[in-house]
Structure 1
């Protein structure tokens, strides 16, 4: 009799849990706000590569990395930053911005800086005379 009562209680609990629906979006990843900022010490035309989407599979990225790292061409300089905001599920793996001069090699050295912020916190900065790379992951 005791086994019958335990089985009935277990069935009642199982039926109750089956009738409870999961919240909408429960399986969707939490997206983090990512903000990329690129500046230069002097006005200069620049090539900026960034990541604002993530591949479903890493093999998708490895087969075509430029599909997930588009290039923006922009003039940056003092008081003229390039800023892009994105939302990524795994910024530790995918957040990245890199900048280099779009001018001829003999153009004066611009002195670039980049900043990578995730959810309002600056997590990476870099600077260099001819380019800069901000990424949490070591590439």
Structure 2
């Protein structure tokens, strides 16, 4: 299986921050940019804290259009996902199977273990917040599903 690193340094969405200083951010201050090519086209990403391309904790938000799908994949670190708005559907397994998914609405939360294949798809436009440890890496269960390899 191919492993693809989520390198965000070139997206222009990173915000340098001193982790000891703390910071606050209003929703209107989020700097949205195109999600990296390791994710299917159409999503946007904003970095709230940390740097997903480097070692250490980070928090990002992913804004996905209606009917957006992320094929089965895993990460070498745990991923905590909170639904900010919309409808986030997820399931475990080696392929995206909508019949085996669980639906989370706004305020829902899932803690996805490291190295466990999972998939996701959205109903309407959806915003989720992801907390994890970097560097953030996506390893698709089926390497042919990696959108960065088909461009």
Q: Could you state the TM-score of these two structures normalised by the residue count of structure 1?
A: 0.27
Q: Greater share of helix residues, 1 or 2? A: 1
The TM-score normalised by the length of structure 2 is 0.26
Larger Cα Rg: Structure 1 or Structure 2?
Answer: 1
